[in-house]
Structures are given as C-alpha cells and as structure tokens.
Amino acid sequence: MIAAHFPILQVVVPLMAAPFVVLFRNGTVAWFISFAVSWFALAISVALLGQVMDAGEISYAIGDWAPPWGIEYRVDKINAFVLLIVSAIAAIVATFARASVEKEIPEDKQVLFYSAFLLCLTGLLGITITGDAFNIFVFLEISSLSSYALIAMGRDRRALTAAFQYLVMGTIGATFILIGIGLIYMMTGTLNIADMAVRIEAVSTSPTTVAAAAFIFVGVGLKLALFPLHLWLPNAYTFAPSMVSAFLAATATKVSVYVMLRFMFTVFGKFFTFEFLPESPILIFLASLAILTASTVAIFQNNLKRMLAYSSVAQIGYMVFGIAMVNVSGLTAGILHLFNHALMKGGLFMALGCIAYRLGATSIEQVAGAGRRMPLTMFAFVIGGLSLIGVPLTAGFVSKWYLLLGAMEKGWWPAAVIVLVGSLLAVVYVWRVVEAAYFRPSPDGATTVEEAPLSMLIPTWVLIGANVYFGIHTDLSVSVAKQAAVQLLGLAP
C-alpha cells in the first residue's frame, strides 16, 4: 500500500526534515536526522528503480488531481537511475559529513548547514522526479538557493564571492529556463511534460518554439556548466566546504544533464532537437572544447580542489559528447558517465576532504609526502584518479569505451581522438598529484602516519570501491543506462 506513495515520499521526507532539523539546535542531532533521511531516500529510490524496471513507468497524481491538470510525478527508467545516483551520493556524503563538518563549520551554524543540505537534496530529487515543467523550475531554485548558501559557508572569504557569482549566473540560467517554459506554455497551453510532448508537434516549426528551445538549452547549459558557461563552477567547488564540494560535484551537474536530456528527447523530441535545429554540431563543438581546454587548465592548478573542478568541466564535456551522438551507444555512454562520474568525483572530493581534515589545505605543496602520512587516503585518491583517466577495470573505462563505440558507429574518428587526448591530459594532472604525494618529502619533514578518522575514510573507500566494482561488474549500470537510452530515443526495447 505504502509502495504506491514512494514517488511523493522521495521528495516530501527530506523537505519536511529540513525545517524539523532546525528545531533541535544541536549539530549532532541535526547530523543524525540528515543521515537517516538520506539513507531513507536511498532506500526509496532503490525501490522505485526496482518497480520501474519490473513494471514500467510510474505516474503519481499529487492530491489525486488527474494529470495533465494536476501535478504529476512520473518515474521512468532514466529518472529512476538519476534518483538513485543523487540519493546514493547524498547518503554516503551524509555519512562522511559528521567529522568534516565538525572541523570546517562553526558550531552555531551546523544545524542550518544540515538544513540547507536537506533542502538541496529535496530540490535535486524534485527536479528529477517531477513530470511538470514549472515544477522543474521551482525545484531548481530550491536546490540552487540552498547550494549558494552551502557554498558561502566555506572558511575562506573567497567562498562568499564565489557563491555570489554562482548566484548571479545561476539565477540568469534559471530565469532563462523560466522564459523557455513560459514560451512553451504559450504555444501548447500545458505544463505537463508528457502532454507537452504530444502537443508540441503541431507547433514545432513556430519561431516561438524555437526561441523556447534556445532559452531552455542556454539556461540548462549554464546550470550544467557546459563550456563556455562554466565560469561559476571552479571557484564554487574550490572554496565550498569539503562535504559540499563532494555532494555538488557528484549530483548538481548530473541533475542538470538529466533536465537537458528530458527537454531534448521527451519534450522537443529528437527530430526537432537534432534535425530541425542544428544541436548536434554545436554540442559536439562545445564538448570538444570543454574536454581539451578544461583538462589543459586543470594541469596548471595548484589547488587540488580547483584541479578537480576543472576536470569536472571536462567530464561534463564527455557526457554532452555522448548525448550529441544521438545513437544508442553514445547516449548509453552519456547516461552511464552520469553515474560513473558521480562515483569518481564524489570519491575524489571526499579524499580531498580527508586531506583537508588532517593537513589543513589542499594545495599541491601541502600534499607533498602525503603518500606516507596518509597512505589509505592517498591510495583512494590514486584509484579515483585512475578511474578519472579511464584505466581498464575502473568505472571510467566503461563509459569511455561506450563513448568510443558510439563515435566508431558514427565513423567520427576525430571524436575518438579528442576522447583519447582528454584521457592523456587527465594522466598528466593525476600524475602531478601522485608525484607530489609519493616522491616528494612533506613540507615540514613530518613522516608520522596521521590518517583521517574512520567515519570519513570508510565512505570515501565505499565510493572508490564502487569505482572498481562497477568497472568489473558492468551488467547492472550498463543495462540500466542502455535501457534508459533506448527509451529516450524512442526505439523498441
């Protein structure tokens, strides 16, 4: 009986928990509630994915108002997969958060910090699960506003300017999405995504629809940090508290990629997006630039968090690259990379969180000699780095493999070269860290082993271990991603 209400519980439980947490005025209680709620959300999303894989799409009418008049939550293969990514990362990061937040956030702010974290989780889950276009905007703003607040809690004063810059660019992006949704509403008279998809065909050659598509793709492009709209991302991830960097890097941009997929394939349809509009060459061009320039810039960064942030911009390039191929292998690679990149970046940022906890900073000078002082953390970083490069037996290899397959099917040899050059650049920036950590003496000559607390190490290793697990046992992640790709392309399964 309760299973029928899973879609709404997925969003409402974290939403209710956010103000509830504030009532206690105690950091430990607030952490425990966030921890419990995140794991509960994960349990629900696992159950939802199971239901969808067995029985097909779930449509949930909120308050029993039948769609398209009422708001509908609709779960299909692609968003059930994204829900799983978001809630799994949230659960692991919430476990990790306790020690990290204790060290980095002043005690009187911790309760509000967890409250903002829960709101951000609500927003991300809401964007993913909803079947209503205007709801996407509202949840997008819930998650964005709370993530601006989370980023501003970084210790460095530059966190404030980074959060402000993100606020300005994020609001412009969200307002563009709002304009786009308004224009579609003007043409179709509906806000329900499934209904929109049917009605938009009749008006798909109208200039208003084209303008709507342009506004939405630019707006979402800002949110997902598509090159050259990525300017807010490096500073935001660099100066945010460690736990926030890990959470946002692994989830926020992924959800934006999902929104882009949803509008491209479900609302506008692949013929409008890729044949009527020249989206494919534009996206390929921007994604290639993202992969090459952001990976190159990452090599010259002294702060490791900033290095990983630029690497994120490049990795988003890979996802967009796969999507722009508009074939099953390419799209599978894009969706699979959502999952795999969440695993690797989550793990890497958490490893940096451990380093920041013990060594105080994450610059390359600070990390020198850390291979001997924090062997487990640095080893986790190395494995995460290998996955980032795409070495066989790690998750990163699987998504790059499908990306290359997609490029081969299209006969795009230059695309395959760009993917390989991107991987080589990743080798360079990961090697810089390995070289500093293992082959250089630590700055103050200390050699004693000082590992991060177990409550931080275990979650880090769970994600890093998942990189290896999903690099070897590819059935689960690949089959879900492939089915989602087939569903988006509208092919018979």
Partner 1 sequence: MTAFLEHYNYWIAIFLMMAGFYTVVARGNLVKKIVGLNIFQASVFLLYISMGKVEGGTAPILSGKPEVFSNPLPHVLILTAIVVGVATTALGLSFIVRINESYGTTEEDEIQHMDDEP
Binding site for partner 1 (CB under 8 A): 134, 137-138, 141, 145, 148-149, 152, 157-158, 160-161, 163-164, 167-168, 171-172, 175, 178-179, 182, 185-186, 191
Residue 192, beta-bridge partner list: 132
Distance in angstroms (rounded) separating the CA atoms of residues 347 and 363: 18
Q: Residue count of the chain, please give it.
A: 493
How does 336-346 read in b/e, with b if 16+ C-beta sit within 10 Å?
Answer: bbbbbbbbbbb
> Whose Cβ is closer to partner 1: residue 83's or residue 119's?
119
Q: How far apart are CA 60 and CA 212, in angstroms?
A: 27
Q: Which is nearer to partner 1, 20 or 185 (CB)?
A: 185
CB of 145 to partner 1, least distance (A): 6
- Nearest approach, Cβ of residue 186 and partner 1 (Å): 5
What does the alpha-carbon distance between residue 278 and residue 264 come to, in Å, rounded to a whole number? 12
Closest CA relative to residue 185, chosen from 155, 212, 149: 212
Of 219 and 406, CB closest to partner 1: 219
**What residues contact residue 356 under an 8 Å CB cut-off, 6+ apart?**
100, 104, 242, 362
Nearer to partner 1, 169 or 481 (CB): 169
Six-digit token string for 372: 């001997």
Angle at 465 between CA 481 and CA 431, to 5 degrees: 100
User: Please, which residue, 53 or 138, has the CB nearer to partner 1?
Assistant: 138
- CB-nearer residue toward partner 1: 68 or 406: 68
Give CA–CA dist 447/466, Å, rounded: 30
In the bound complex, what is the minimum distance in angstroms from residue 190's beta carbon to partner 1?
Answer: 10
Work out how close the CB of 159 gets to partner 1 at its nearest, in angstroms, rounded to a whole number: 10
Least separation, in Å, of the C-beta of 16 and partner 1?
Answer: 19
Shortest CB 375 distance to partner 1, Å: 32
Closest distance to partner 1 from the beta carbon of 134 (Å): 6
Are 312 and 256 a contacting pair, CB within 8 Å?
no
With respect to partner 1, which residue has the nearer C-beta, 154 or 396? 154
Token pair, residue 491, equals 């092919």
